């Protein structure tokens, strides 16, 4: 059998079709939305991380600036000349960048490899310069060559992300503890929802699914594997929603920063519920 792809002649269909795809539905909507939202988040997060101010108010701490390095380790970070966020954000960034869901999202929208199913970016079709990282045509290397081979380290990013969930959990609890005692402000709820969504996103991770039980071949074999099977089964339910958690937590973590930032800069007023 020859490996040659079939030769497609020009078609009597509308001229816009047949160039990169014959799909007639709005296949471009999803990658475009991803591009816009992920791009906007990236820009906002970069801007917010570089500010270095307005990241705390009352008991609230922006998740971009958590842990509060300057407060916790003044001896090391007290004289740090830049925004502390630039030391913190790489961890969640690497977790999301190597995430099995986000890989799908950005390989489609940023790498156009492929932008959507059965949309063929070959020959004359315009491709993203990032596509070169995957290699093209016969030189395609996917995730086997540097730098994308580093995607295999996702589980290490997960370990750090999991650590962050505990830190952000501490922040969320602290957000109820005011100088005048226990109170609930809107910001307390914002930060609580934030850690909940991030927790769901982090612990619905595919690598975690593997480590919990996916790596086992015989679930019934002994007590330990039986327990891990149960855990794996439950985690799998979360894992199915990994994409939803990814987006919800992404948008909410940005909103949490915006909330703290605007309250701290006096644009918004934090409403105390009780």
Partner 1 sequence: MSKQAVFNVYRGSQEGGDFQEFTVPVEEGMVVLDAMHYVQGFLCPDLAVRWNCKAAKCGSCSAEINGKPGLMCKTRIDDLPIESPVSVQPIKSFPIIKDLVTDVSWNFEMNKKITPFTPDNEDVSSWRYYQEDVDRVQEFRKCIECFLCQDVCHVIRNHEQKPKFVGPRFMVRLASLEMHPMDRVDRLPFIKEEAGIGLCNITKCCTEVCPEDIHITDNAIIPLKERVVDEYYDPVVGLLRGIGILPKRNKKKP
To partner 1, the closest distance from the beta carbon of 168 in angstroms equals 25
Residues that bind partner 1 (rule: CB under 8 A) add up to a total of: 61
Query: Which positions from 36 through 65 interact with partner 1, judged by CB under 8 A?
Result: none
Calpha distance 201→138 (Å, rounded): 36
Dmax (CA) of the chain: 79
Q: Is-contact 256 186, C-beta < 8 A? A: no
The tokens describing 92, both together, are 């969640």
Q: Which of 104, 234, 241, 272 binds partner 1 (CB under 8 A)?
A: 104
Q: Which of 54, 62, 68, 113 binds partner 1 (CB under 8 A)?
A: 113
Nearer to partner 1, 128 or 136 (CB): 136
Q: Which of 152, 163, 177, 272 binds partner 1 (CB under 8 A)?
A: 152
Tell me phi and psi for residue 16, to 5 degrees. Answer: -70, -20
Calpha distance 44→36 (Å, rounded): 12
Query: Which positions from 186 through 225 interact with partner 1, judged by CB under 8 A?
Result: 206-207, 209-210, 214-215, 217-221
To the nearest 10°, the Cα dihedral for 119, 123, 125, 127? 90
Calpha distance 138→149 (Å, rounded): 18
Contacts to partner 1 by CB under 8 A: 1-9, 11-13, 17, 21-25, 100, 103-104, 107-108, 113-114, 117-118, 120-122, 134-138, 140-144, 148-149, 152-155, 206-207, 209-210, 214-215, 217-221, 229, 233, 239-240
């Amino acid at each position: 059998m020859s490996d040659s792809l079939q030769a497609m002649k020009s078609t009597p269909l509308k001229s816009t079709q047949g160039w990169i795809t014959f799909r007639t539905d709005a296949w471009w909507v999803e990658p475009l939305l991803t591009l816009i939202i992920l791009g906007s988040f990236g820009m906002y997060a970069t801007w917010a991380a570089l500010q270095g101010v307005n990241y705390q108010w009352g008991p609230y701490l922006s998740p971009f600036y958590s842990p509060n390095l300057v407060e916790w380790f003044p001896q090391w970070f007290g004289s740090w000349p830049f925004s502390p966020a630039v030391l913190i954000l790489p961890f969640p960034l690497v977790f999301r960048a190597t995430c099995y869901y986000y890989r799908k999202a950005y390989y489609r929208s940023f790498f156009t490899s492929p932008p959507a199913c059965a949309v063929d970016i070959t020959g004359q079709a315009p491709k993203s310069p990032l596509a070169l990282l995957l290699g093209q045509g016969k030189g395609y290397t996917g995730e086997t060559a540097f730098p994308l081979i580093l995607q295999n380290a996702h589980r290490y990013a997960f370990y750090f992300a999991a650590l962050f969930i505990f830190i952000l959990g501490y922040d969320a609890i602290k957000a109820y503890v005011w100088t005048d005692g226990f109170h609930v402000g809107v910001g307390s709820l914002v930060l609580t929802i934030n850690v909940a969504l991030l927790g769901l996103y982090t612990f619905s991770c595919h690598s975690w699914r593997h480590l919990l039980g996916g790596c086992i071949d015989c679930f019934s074999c002994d007590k330990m594997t039986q327990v891990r099977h149960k855990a794996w089964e439950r985690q799998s339910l979360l894992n199915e929603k990994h994409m939803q958690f990814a987006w919800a937590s992404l948008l909410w973590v940005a909103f949490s920063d915006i909330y703290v930032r605007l309250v701290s800069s006096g644009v918004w007023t934090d409403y105390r519920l009780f």
